[in-house]
Amino acid sequence: MIQFRVAVAFAKFIFLLTIFATSACAQSDGLGGASNKAASKLVIESATGKHVFKIELVDTPETRRVGLMYRTELAADAGMLFDFEEPQTVSIWMKNTLIPLDIAFIDENGVIKRITADATPKSLETMPSGALVLSVLEVNGGTFAALGIKAGDRVRHPLFNNE
């Protein structure tokens, strides 16, 4: 019986070690968390210049549902681009999101229609797009104000066929 308990404890230890190692490797993407897709470049053209971000594209119901939940950090030049596949009105919330975010709602032409700045971590308050949008870009809170990015600015990325 003691050998069985030791074997079970050892199996649990190996399982947890495997999960830890996998998680640590996944976090090397520069985005501060695991990523299912390779990062790509996104450029925002504003009155203050061109601003380049390394983004993770999420384009499935599951990846959109999880988004940046549970991540504890995000590189200064990183973000997550949500592809909703068809223009629609959307609402975003911060449930289980641990870091403050700036959120840009972007139409099918790559034009930022609305920005929600410094969204409160873990908040269940919904933030609506206010217009038909194809995507949402999330970056660290305060980034858009610091860079002078505003509604009306243009986003360049293959998703918008305007690169």
Higher pLDDT, 106 or 39: 106
**What was the pLDDT predicted at 85?**
95
Query: Two tokens at 98?
Result: 């641990």
**What was the pLDDT predicted at 12?**
47
Higher pLDDT, 157 or 3: 157
Is residue 114 scored above 70 in pLDDT? Answer: yes
Are 112 and 152 contacting, i.e. CB atoms less than 8 angstroms apart? yes
**What was the pLDDT predicted at 163?**
82
What ranges make up the beta strands (E) of the chain? 40-46, 49-58, 78-88, 91-92, 101-106, 112-119, 127-128, 133-140, 154-156
**What was the pLDDT predicted at 13?**
45
Query: Two tokens at 124?
Result: 């269940």
Nearest to 53 by CA among 128, 126, 106, 113: 106
Measured CA to CA in angstroms, residue 79 lies from 5, 9, 38, 60, 69 at distances of: 45, 39, 12, 17, 13
DSSP state at residue 67:
T
Q: Residue written as tokens 């210049």?
A: 49
Q: Give dist(CA 75, CA 15) in Å, integer.
A: 29
Q: What is the mean pLDDT of residues 117-143?
A: 97
Give residue-wise pLDDT tens across range 43-102. 999 999 999 999 999 999 998 999 999 999 999 999 999 999 999 999 999 999 999 999
**What was the pLDDT predicted at 135?**
98
CB atoms within 10 A of CB 127: 18
Give residue-wise pLDDT tens across range 2-38. 554 544 444 444 443 333 333 333 343 444 444 445 5
Query: Two tokens at 68?
Result: 């940046």
